[in-house]
Amino acid sequence: MPRFSLCFEDWRTEIAPHIGGSILSLTHARRTVLRPTPEEAVEAGAVRRTACFPLVPYANRIAEGRFLWDGRAHRLAENFPASPHPLHGVGWRRPWHVVAVDVRSCVLRLEHRVQAGEQQDWPFAFDAEQRISLGIGGLSVELSVVNADESAAPLGLGLHPLFPRQGSERLVFDAAGAWRNGSDMLPASRVSGGLWEHAAGQSIDAQVLDNDFFGWSGTARIEADCSDPIRISASPIFSSLRVFTPADKDFFAIEPVSHATDAINRGGAAELLRVPPGARLSGSMTINVDAS
């Protein structure tokens, strides 16, 4: 199915199942809440230029695409320009199928089966589903993944909403700290305080971030001059928050994720969740406007 729109009262969103199961836009009372996707990006199927897309079966980078699972070595193919670290799994790079749709909600599904020659995309079978809806609480995206493999598999979840950047935005959220990246863009050391502390708010222009914040409380707020705050809320499974504020760009990203970058190689509490055959992981994110 080509792209389609959902609406509820003052909320409008557009969905493109064939472009990585992505959201193309989100507005409230004609206010742009998520960055709109340029028409040329839609025509080109450029999912990285959309408004929001799913991260499944893992979020962010896996170092050199290499990991061990139950004693077996795996190597993933590169999937991101000029980076040796595969990024965000396969969900954002595949078309999703429409299971159901009505005026205010839809259900999208992706089935991943390991075909000959595709082991380097992701070597474990899974089924993923997105339930996207509009309501009194704004936009809700529920993302779930089922282990469809014959043995336990590593699985994780994330969502990648992108917001328009005008220069006055401040980001407010509680977290225990952040991971400072090394030169390879992988987590190297824990930091806290100063510009890493967002409980009282930090300008998104304060520093360039592409970092995981751990011990996240599950809510974040975007404040800006002359407009009502935008609130992002997520289920407890999304224990980390990835904040991406690239320099000299007209957007930034606030990404609820279930694990830190390269978790599969770092062990302990950072390991991707070990999911038995047939078991499901799920979590939801809402984006709302706190009207004054």
Q: 76: domain CATH number?
A: 2.70.98.10
Residue 203's Cβ-side half-sphere holds a number of Cα atoms within 13 Å equal to 8
Q: Note the pLDDT of residue 271.
A: 62
The phi-psi region of residue 218 (left if phi > 0; otherwise alpha if psi is between -120 and 50; otherwise beta) is left
The one-letter amino acid at 20:
G
Q: Note the pLDDT of residue 82.
A: 81
pLDDT < 50 stretches in the chain: none
Taking residue 5's Cβ as centre, other Cβ atoms within 10 Å add up to 11
The one-letter amino acid at 229:
P
The two structure tokens encoding residue 284: 């939801």
Distance of CA 90 to the CA centre of its chain: 12
Q: Note the pLDDT of residue 272.
A: 78
Q: Note the pLDDT of residue 102.
A: 98
Distance of CA 139 to the CA centre of its chain: 15
Q: Note the pLDDT of residue 161.
A: 98
Residues in the chain: 292
The two structure tokens encoding residue 182: 């090394």
Q: State the sign of the Cα–Cα–Cα–Cα dihedral 175, 236, 122, 251.
A: negative
* Cβ(171)–Cβ(222) below 8 Å: yes
Instruction: Tell me how far apart the alpha carbons of residues 217 and 236 are, in angstroms, rounded to a whole number.
Output: 8
Instruction: Tell me how far apart the alpha carbons of residues 281 and 273 are, in angstroms, rounded to a whole number.
Output: 9
**What tens digit of pLDDT does each residue of 41-89 get?**
999 999 999 999 999 999 999 999 999 999 999 999 998 888 899 999 9
φ, ψ at 240 (rounded to 5°):
-120, 155
**What tens digit of pLDDT does each residue of 118-141 get?**
668 999 999 999 999 999 999 999
Write the CB contacts of 18 (distance below 8 Å, at least 6 apart in sequence).
1, 2, 3, 45, 95, 96
Q: Note the pLDDT of residue 118.
A: 65
**Long-range Cβ pairs for the range 244-247 (8 Å, 24+):** 244/209, 244/210, 245/204, 245/205, 245/207, 245/208, 245/209, 245/210, 246/208, 246/210, 247/208
The SS3 of residue 264 is helix
Domain range for residue 73?
Answer: 4-289
Q: How many domains does the chain have?
A: 1
Name residue, tokens 């064939």: 18
Angle at 65 between CA 243 and CA 80, to 5 degrees: 55
Q: Which stretches of the chain are DSSP H helices? A: 39-44
Q: What is the DSSP letter of 73?
A: E
The two structure tokens encoding residue 138: 């704004």
Q: Which of 79, 139, 145 is nearest to 109 (CA)?
A: 145
